[in-house]
Amino acid sequence: MDLVNVYFRLKGHFVIQPLIIFTGFLLLIYALLIFYYHRSWDQMQLACEDLPLPSIQVSVIIAARNEAGRIRDCLQALSRQSYPKALTEIIVVNDFSTDETAAIVMEYRDCCKLVNLSDFVANPLSAYKKKAIETGIAQSGGELIICTDADCTMDTEWIGTLVAEQQQKNLVFIAAPVKIVTNGSALGVFQILDFISLQGITGVAVFKKLYPMCNGANLAYLRQAFDAVGGFADIDHIASGDDMLLMKKIQALFPGRSGYIKDPRAIVSTEPAENIQAFFSQRIRWASKVSHYKHPATFFTLALVFLLNITLLLLFFFCLFFGHWRMLLIFLAGKTISEYFFVANVASFFGQQSLMKYFPICQPFHIVYTVIAGSLGSLGRYEWKNRKVK
């Protein structure tokens, strides 16, 4: 019996020691990367406080499917925009909704236009949202296309702030901030903290021109740029990617003319996923786009994050049998501390710094979630808006 115990301890030693060294190496690189993100976020200047006089025609495009419960708040927020109504058109593209979405949009016919996707295409499609946006743009007349989601709300100066950023910096593509508002649930807090870090990385990635990163709930691009790259041509077979894959195409043709707007007035707010299943479906959908990026910096960053989290998870399971809990706790503390100050800085921009007290508690759950979402996202299968997507 003693020989058996000795055997397993020796075996555990030869397995866990290399894992500890590898995890420590990954954590060091990761901590340096987060420090770089933190410093870069601080270097980003806030947008100009005074907005210039309105000058260009704007088209706000919203692809909506079964959003009867939330689209009214979005349309009310858009109807209160300070940007001149004569220079603004709002187009809602009804993506085969089976609820009262279209009827609610018609209540706002004085300030927006309803377009039914079913009038232009037939089921089934590979990428419904891309086709909805493309259809909306074809029906629009604006020079600047602004995209948001039907479950979002925004400040009264949202449009004017995006226009000012485009005009002052001569940008062809603008990535803008998105904020998840708390609903008081533990899952909601977890999503907010996770999303804050994603928004910080998004801002830095665009600011430093590291790789294309944005969120389809809040972005803008010149119609000229959209037409120049052929819209969603060559990526229209991919269900998701109406944001980052399009950004990648536009950046390739117009290098150096994309930007992230760091201005509270440019924030759009949305609610967290209502349950764990919806949350994982959303994150798996985001992760499913990775294989289509073909961008070295993107691959390196995502691979580093995934490897670090999976090694920490493996280390936990090995510790159950062979000990070394102290090293695992040191690594968890190192990861938490390296991220904390960066996320707290970004959280301050979004006015959500009070939630940072929950950040350390979320860490173990975040590791598990990252490994699961990353693994399932690589399969490219998920369910979204009651549609099974491959």
- How far is 357 from 361, CA to CA, in rounded Å? 8
- How far is 248 from 296, CA to CA, in rounded Å? 13
- pLDDT value at residue 237: 79
> 120 with 228, same domain?
yes
- How far is 110 from 19, CA to CA, in rounded Å? 63
Asked if residue 379 is part of any domain, the answer here is yes
Assess contact for 382 and 281: CB atoms under 8 A: yes
- How far is 386 from 124, CA to CA, in rounded Å? 13
- How many other β-carbons are positioned within 10 Å of the β-carbon of residue 151? 18
> 8 with 95, same domain?
no
> 372 with 248, same domain?
no
> 26 with 93, same domain?
no
**Burial (CB count <10 Å: 0-12, 13-18, 19+), residue 60:** buried
- pLDDT value at residue 386: 64
Mean pLDDT by 10 residues, the chain (390 residues): 45 68 94 97 81 85 95 97 95 95 95 94 84 96 97 96 92 97 90 96 94 93 97 85 91 95 96 88 76 74 92 88 82 96 97 96 92 77 61
- pLDDT value at residue 388: 64
Print the domain residue range for 146: 58-176+214-272
- How far is 297 from 330, CA to CA, in rounded Å? 28
Asked if residue 331 is part of any domain, the answer here is yes
Residue 215: strand, helix, or coil: coil
Domain of 131, CATH number, reads 3.90.550.10
- Domains in the chain: how many in total? 2
- pLDDT value at residue 3: 42
> 244 with 127, same domain?
yes
Residue position matching structure tokens 């020796």: 10
> 240 with 340, same domain?
no
- pLDDT value at residue 4: 41
Asked if residue 193 is part of any domain, the answer here is no
- pLDDT value at residue 376: 79
> 343 with 375, same domain?
yes
In the chain, the amino acid numbered 47 is A
Assess contact for 163 and 55: CB atoms under 8 A: yes
Residue 269 zone, left/alpha/beta (φ > 0; ψ -120 to 50; rest): beta
Q: b/e string for 229-263 if b means 16 or more Cβ within 10 A?
A: bebbeebbebbbbbbbbbbbbbbeebeebbbbbbb
Evaluate the CA torsion angle 353, 355, 356, 357 in order and state its sign.
positive
- How far is 331 from 313, CA to CA, in rounded Å? 11
- pLDDT value at residue 312: 94
- pLDDT value at residue 230: 96
> 157 with 227, same domain?
yes
Alpha helices by DSSP H, the chain: 2-43, 71-79, 101-106, 128-138, 158-169, 186-207, 223-228, 244-253, 276-287, 296-322, 325-349, 359-377
> 235 with 337, same domain?
no
> 62 with 38, same domain?
no
Asked if residue 208 is part of any domain, the answer here is no
- How far is 241 from 128, CA to CA, in rounded Å? 11
